[in-house]
Amino acid sequence: MPALIIGGNAAGMTLFVIAVLRTVNWWRDRRTASWQWRRGSILWMAYFGLQLLGGLWSNDLDGWRLSLEVKSALWFLPVMLAMPGQKVARDFWWSLGWSVTFYLSWRMLRAGWYQWVLDVPSEWRYARFSGDVHPTYMSLHLAVAFLGLGAHWGSAMKPYFLWGVTALFAVSMGMLGSKAGIMAALIVAGLRLTMMWPRWGKKKWGQLSTALPTGALRWGAFLVLVLVSTWSMSSNRFAEMSSATAVMTDSKAPVQSSSAGRVMVWQTSFEIIQAHPFGVGTGDVVPELMDRYERDGLDYASDRRLNPHNQWLQAGVAFGWPGMAILTMAFLACLLQAWRNGDGALLLCVVLTVCYTLGSNRCLKCSAEWSLSCGC
């Protein structure tokens, strides 16, 4: 997440230096200690193994190599966390929370400068507000950071500052305008509020609350502010979802919105999975989709070179049913671990990322990183 502030290349180099230091520390002081492989880490590494093997039946080797580079955290992070050394959960929450806070504050100030000094009011919404980070990706980071606010990071904040950050996050969620992000955040906020009900106090659902920030009023305010900011800043993005209904009922209906385009992409992805039960290979996902877009005259999708926009369908197109099975088991392992340990933060973090991956395939690496960092 600090890549938002210092840039992706600098952040990557920082992680490399940290890995070297952690390895040196292990070799010098903890060589005799046993490695701690987590249940979730094995499955994430198995999924990366599919990424590697998928090159054997890929025609686009450049796409295969790019995928390996982008998904390298699926093997790198499990190895680093299994190595005996300092726990990373505290550093994870601190880094995520403050990076998101500083980044959103800067984007707010920038949008205000454009509005009142340059008389350009367009910087408050969607991609212009999120900057170089995709709005869906940004809103996922925001939602996870809010999960830990006041407990895992920011616990020493003054009440007025805590409420200020809450308002910043909620209003920013509406400005970002990611449909998947907003709906996932509302679902998780609703789940968090149900955990606070007195009737659940002595049951497992209530016990999960102990690892989460308290304050029903603040969580309720977050939920309401997200709804209000979404209605005022991004309502048109939800209004266009009605166009998806026409596409679902009539295959010849025009595709004129992102929601309708997503439905057509999902249908095309299902078609490929049925034709290729073991997938088309790591590098050939988009080329295979493009061939079918052009065959069916789906100009909206072909002009934008749309990917499946669903992590399960992405896995299915690339690796078939085995890929979808391993992905499902990885998430289930994390949910089971959270339930057994009574870790509400990990549980809601996984639920949140699952909700995101149903409507996007941009969040797999983050799902693995966050679940492992939180203890999966």
Whether residue 47 is found in the same domain as residue 149:
no
Whether residue 169 is found in the same domain as residue 297:
no
Whether residue 227 is found in the same domain as residue 97:
yes
In the chain, how long is the greatest CA-to-CA distance?
66
Residue that terminates a domain, selected from 233, 266, 293: 233
Q: What is the pLDDT of residue 335?
A: 87
* Structural domain boundaries enclosing 62: 40-79+257-376
Please indicate, yes or no, if residue 341 is contained in any of the structural domains.
Answer: yes
Along the 376 residues of the chain, how does pLDDT read in single tens digits?
Answer: 555 555 556 666 777 787 888 888 888 888 888 888 877 788 888 999 999 998 888 888 888 888 888 788 888 888 888 888 877 778 888 888 999 999 999 999 999 999 999 999 889 988 899 988 888 888 988 999 998 898 888 888 898 999 999 999 999 999 998 888 899 999 999 988 888 877 666 666 667 777 677 788 999 999 999 999 999 888 887 766 666 665 655 566 566 667 777 888 888 999 999 999 999 988 888 889 999 988 888 888 888 888 888 899 999 999 999 999 999 998 898 888 888 888 888 888 889 888 888 877 666 666 666 566 555 5
Residue 64, amino acid: W
Q: Quickly count: other Cβ atoms within 10 Å of residue 283's Cβ.
A: 23
Whether residue 67 is found in the same domain as residue 91:
no
Q: What is the pLDDT of residue 179?
A: 87
Whether residue 296 is found in the same domain as residue 345:
yes
Q: In which element (H, E) is residue 215 found?
A: none
Number of structural domains found in the chain: 2
Whether residue 203 is found in the same domain as residue 136:
yes
Whether residue 262 is found in the same domain as residue 176:
no
Please indicate, yes or no, if residue 250 is contained in any of the structural domains.
Answer: no
Please indicate, yes or no, if residue 276 is contained in any of the structural domains.
Answer: yes
Whether residue 264 is found in the same domain as residue 363:
yes
Please indicate, yes or no, if residue 8 is contained in any of the structural domains.
Answer: no
Q: What is the pLDDT of residue 193?
A: 87
Q: What does each C-alpha distance from 94 to 152, 153, 155, 183, 276 come to in angstroms?
A: 7, 5, 10, 25, 43
Q: Which two tokens mark 325? A: 């099975």
Distance between CA atoms of residues 154 and 143, nearest Å: 15
Query: C-alpha angle with apex 342: 338 to 346, nearest 5 degrees?
Result: 40
